[in-house]
Amino acid sequence: MTSEPRPRSISVTAGFWEHLPFDVRGEAFRTDPYPFYETLRAAGPVARLPDGVLVVTGYHEGLAVLGDPRFGLGGGALESASFLLVDPPEHRRRRTRVSGPFSAHAVERLRPAVRHRTAALVRAAAAKGETDVLADLAVPLALELICALVGVPLEDRPRWYGALPALSLGFVPDGLRDEEATARLTAARLDFARYLGALVAERRGAPRDDLVSALLSPGPDGTVLTDRQIVTALGQLVVAGYEPTVHQVTNGLYALLRHPRELARLRADPSCGPAVVEEVMRFDPVIHLITRIALQDADIGGRRVPAGTVVGVLPGAANRDPEVFPDPHRLDVTRPPQHLSFGWGEHFCLGARLVRVQAEALLTALAQCRPVLTGEPVRHRSLVLMRGVERLPVVLTERPGDED
């Protein structure tokens, strides 16, 4: 491992996965983590693991931890390299600075353009014969959108696109990356930061109506962000907005392909798109671990939790809590929408609305084209505790309509 400086917020909860009584890197977990979660659940919705760390498999208990300010990220250091992984009150201030493009109003305005672009991508994919949902559809859609929202010009892509695969390794908890991967991640972060630094300098000279320029102005409370903070925020937004979205949309289609009745429901009634998105996110989320630390003595569901206790919430387990979800291992798009896949509380995913708009557009459009799987997808190898596939090959057996 390198001695790259880490914000305390990350290091404090970093080794959590080591306490889990199964190998999160193993082929079996990668293929199907859900039976492993059931073995944990047998010890109750909140189980104590060796060394006193707690693991949460219950839905209400997960909500309770993520919604409780007594549990935080434990950093809070203003010099933290991470822009949003800090505790309140600093967190709220920083989050507000970047949240404009992700507001309900801003994202809603994008909906027609997202549908239009999705339709064009799906038409091209249908014309291709076999198409890879990940590379041909999910990637371009997610990348174009996040770049447009953050203000990173897509035409600069040759200057940063090569860094993206290595940047995604930042989602792998510390200790789960080998030295080579950590070195690649560090180099990619430097490259991307260098590009973003140049972009910030460019916008300072010639501001535009974009987030990069907005971050250069003083905030509502008069504070001015340093260039490093701006670069960190932009980099995190691009990476957070890209990688999980691509995998979530692909996981969602894969779930529907394995449940043809649910796929047929969406085809017959596109208005159930939003419900389908929530259910596939419940059924097979991308982010499989959210960690917190008790900042003071606290409790979860009546159980005393001393300050300093590390707690891991497993959204994939909470989403299948039988106390909340009847027949939890069944994909059922008619159930009430509920899941922890975007987290909860202070750090609830900033991009949730954006994901919902994209996923709805893409899944609804694909359902119309009767997609058929042409090979088994391969689970990606480099990402751990983030669930996704390397490719999802399908044939779209019907051409989409041209109305869009």
- Of 182-190, 197-205, 236-244, 293-301, which part binds ligand HEM (CB under 6 A)? 236-244
Q: Which among 51, 65, 8, 87 is positioned nearest to 289, based on CA atoms?
A: 65
**Nearest distance from residue 57's CB to ligand HEM, in Å?**
16
CB-CB contact of 274 with 356 (8 Å): yes
Closest-approach residue to ligand HEM (CB):
351
Pairing of strands 54-56, 310-313: parallel
**Nearest distance from residue 206's CB to ligand HEM, in Å?**
25
Please identify, using beta-carbon distances, which residue of 272 and 287 lies nearer to ligand HEM.
Answer: 287
Please identify, using beta-carbon distances, which residue of 290 and 394 lies nearer to ligand HEM.
Answer: 290
Among positions 282-321, residues that touch ligand HEM (CB under 6 A) are: 286-287, 290
Q: How far apart are CA 371 and CA 247, in angstroms?
A: 18
Please identify, using beta-carbon distances, which residue of 86 and 126 lies nearer to ligand HEM.
Answer: 86
**Nearest distance from residue 374's CB to ligand HEM, in Å?**
25
**Nearest distance from residue 268's CB to ligand HEM, in Å?**
25
- Of 3-11, 151-159, 186-194, 243-251, which part binds ligand HEM (CB under 6 A)? 243-251
For helices 227-257 and 179-205, angle between their N-to-C axes, nearest 10 degrees: 120
**Nearest distance from residue 180's CB to ligand HEM, in Å?**
27
The 328-357 site mask, x for binding ligand HEM (CB under 6 A), equals -------------xxx---x-xxx--xx--
Among positions 27-86, residues that touch ligand HEM (CB under 6 A) are: 84
Among positions 265-284, residues that touch ligand HEM (CB under 6 A) are: none
What is the four-CA torsion angle of 141, 268, 265, 363, rounded to 10 degrees? 0
| Candidate list 41, 95, 184, 288; residue touching ligand HEM; CB under 6 A | 95
**Nearest distance from residue 298's CB to ligand HEM, in Å?**
16
> Is residue 244 part of the contact set for ligand HEM (CB under 6 A)?
yes
Instruction: Say which residues have a Cβ less than 8 Å from residue 84's Cβ, sequence separation at least 6.
Output: 91, 94, 95, 98, 233, 236, 347, 350
Tell me the site size for ligand HEM, rule CB under 6 A. Answer: 21
Burial pattern 193-204, b for ≥16 Cβ within 10 A else e, equals bebbeebbeebe
**Nearest distance from residue 108's CB to ligand HEM, in Å?**
15
Please identify, using beta-carbon distances, which residue of 94 and 123 lies nearer to ligand HEM.
Answer: 94
Q: Which among 71, 28, 29 is positioned nearest to 343, based on CA atoms?
A: 71
Please identify, using beta-carbon distances, which residue of 265 and 347 lies nearer to ligand HEM.
Answer: 347
Please identify, using beta-carbon distances, which residue of 126 and 256 lies nearer to ligand HEM.
Answer: 256
Please identify, using beta-carbon distances, which residue of 20 and 126 lies nearer to ligand HEM.
Answer: 20
- In terms of Cβ atoms closer than 10 Å to its own Cβ (0-12, 13-18, 19+), residue 295 is middle
Look up residue 161 and give its amino acid: Y
Q: Which among 73, 26, 32 is positioned nearest to 320, based on CA atoms?
A: 32
Please identify, using beta-carbon distances, which residue of 126 and 233 lies nearer to ligand HEM.
Answer: 233
**Nearest distance from residue 289's CB to ligand HEM, in Å?**
9
The 177-216 site mask, x for binding ligand HEM (CB under 6 A), equals ----------------------------------------
Please identify, using beta-carbon distances, which residue of 126 and 138 lies nearer to ligand HEM.
Answer: 138
**Nearest distance from residue 351's CB to ligand HEM, in Å?**
2
Which residues would be at the binding site for ligand HEM (CB under 6 A)?
84, 95, 102, 237, 240-241, 244-245, 248, 286-287, 290, 341-343, 347, 349-351, 354-355
